[in-house]
Amino acid sequence: MRNIILFGAPGAGKGTQSAIIREKFDFAYISTGEILRAEIKAGTELGKQAEDLINKGELVSDEIIIGMIKSFIENNTTKDLLLDGFPRTVKQAEALDEILTSMQRGKAKVVELEVDKDVLMKRLLKRAEIEGRKDDNEETIRERFNQYDKKTAAVADYYKKKGDYIAIDGEHGTPQEISVKLIDILEKL
Ligand code: ADP
């Protein structure tokens, strides 16, 4: 079974590409960011814990996120997985490996959408006007980039070392054109 990690900095297009490729492949899909936003909206205990961190651009604790992913994987044993927004730290990546091994699911493969930081900032500020996400303001975006550089970029290296990493240009072309390249890669994985 395939375990695909769609990887990339904030604004790289993970959510957009996930929506397109899910029309073609029958993935069990999880976006940790989407779940956290739903928890905040519903006013749950988890939502309350996550809200301040997200609005500051910081990461939610590994323990919470790993618990969330573990139950998701345990509840979706028959389908290929598409992970969006996870893992975001090396600790999360190591925990994922353990879960996949214990579930006899094989390795995870990373596909990164590569986009220049200036372009990301422009995209996120534009998205702020359309979607009104509280964490899409310039100050918070800077902190999200900072967290990405400090904690998340190392996740790409972690999978590169294992030979389970591939990158595509996520910057040039329409979302549809980018999805063609992504689908081509997924068909070979
Ligand atoms: P983006 O990729 O555009 O930053 P997401 O929707 O994936 O947006 O995530 C929004 C926020 O949710 C992150 O800035 C972070 O605070 C929190 N979050 C999402 N996924 C994780 C994760 N795997 N680990 C820790 N925090 C997370």
pLDDT (tens digit per residue) in 147-177 = 999 999 999 999 999 999 999 999 999 999 9
The structure tokens listed for 1 are 């079974």
Q: What is the mean pLDDT of residues 93-122?
A: 97
pLDDT at residue 84, rounded to an integer: 98
Confidence of residue 80 (pLDDT cuts 50, 70, 90): very high
% of the chain exceeding 70 in pLDDT: 100
Q: Which of the four pLDDT bands, split at 50, 70 and 90, describes residue 18?
A: very high
Q: What is the pTM of this model?
A: 0.96
Is the four-CA dihedral 80, 84, 89, 91 of positive or negative sign? Answer: negative
Pocket residues: Cβ below 6 A from ligand 1: 10-11, 32-33, 36, 53-54, 57-60, 65, 85-86, 88, 92, 135, 144
Query: What b/e sequence results for 119-153 when a residue is b if at least 16 CB atoms lie within 10 Å of its CB, and e otherwise?
Result: ebbebbeeebeeeeeebbeeebbeebbebbeebbe
Best mutation site among 5, 54, 96, 110 for ligand 1 pocket (most ligand atoms within 8 Å of CB): 54
At 29-38, the pLDDT tens digits run 999 999 999 9
Domain ranges of the chain: 3-171
The residues annotated with a catalytic role in the active site are 14, 88, 127, 133, 144
Helices and strands counted in the chain (H then E): 9, 5
Residues 6+ apart with CB under 8 A from 4: 27, 80, 81, 82, 83, 108, 109, 111, 186, 189
| Atom from ligand 1 closest to the CA of residue 87 | 23
Q: Whole-number mean pLDDT of the chain?
A: 97
Q: Give the Cβ contact number of residue 1 at 10 Å.
A: 14
| Ramachandran angles phi, psi of 23, nearest 5° | -70, -25
Q: For helices 62-74 and 90-102, give the axis angle rounded to 10 degrees.
A: 20
Per CATH, which fold does 3-171 belong to?
Answer: Rossmann fold (3.40.50)
In the prediction, which pLDDT does 13 show?
Answer: 97
Instruction: Specify the pLDDT at position 58.
Output: 98
